[in-house]
Amino acid sequence: MSQTVIHGDTIYLAGQVADRAKGKSVGEQTKDVLAIINRLLAEEGSGKTKILSATVYLADIDAFAEMNAERDVWVPAGQAPGRTTVEARLAAAAYGVEIACIAAKA
């Protein structure tokens, strides 16, 4: 699986799950996932202000407010991308959130 795929000036990031915060709260996992997204986008010469759309998968939709609180701190005011949030069974029980996104390269 590719973590990042580039097509023209568009970056597609595979769904990211918490590396360091695996098994912790959805808030902590969200912070970890957003840090991973920052790193992957930076490696491709982009950043969070270039995200066009994001899909958030929650193991329990009741954790929406906890995830959203962390996301709101991370997204610059007025620069929130389109977003879909759904409840889904994730790859392992220790994961509470997974985020995939599409971003512009420049």
Residue whose entry in the numeric block shows the structure tokens 């023209």:
8
* Cα 103 to Cα 27: distance, rounded to the nearest angstrom: 23
What is the arithmetic mean of pLDDT over 88-96?
97
What is the arithmetic mean of pLDDT over 82-104?
97
Residue 106 counted as domain residue: no
Residue 11 counted as domain residue: yes
CATH number at residue 41: 3.30.1330.40
Band of residue 106 on the pLDDT scale cut at 50, 70, 90:
confident
Domain holding 26, by residue range, is: 4-101
Convert the pLDDT of each residue in 27-59 to its tens digit.
Answer: 999 999 999 999 999 999 999 999 999 999 999
Residue 20 counted as domain residue: yes
Q: How much of the chain exceeds pLDDT 70, in percent?
A: 100
Number of domains comprising the chain: 1
Convert the pLDDT of each residue in 62-77 to its tens digit.
Answer: 999 999 999 999 999 9
Looking at the DSSP bridge assignments, the partners of residue 56 are 85, 99
Residue 42 counted as domain residue: yes
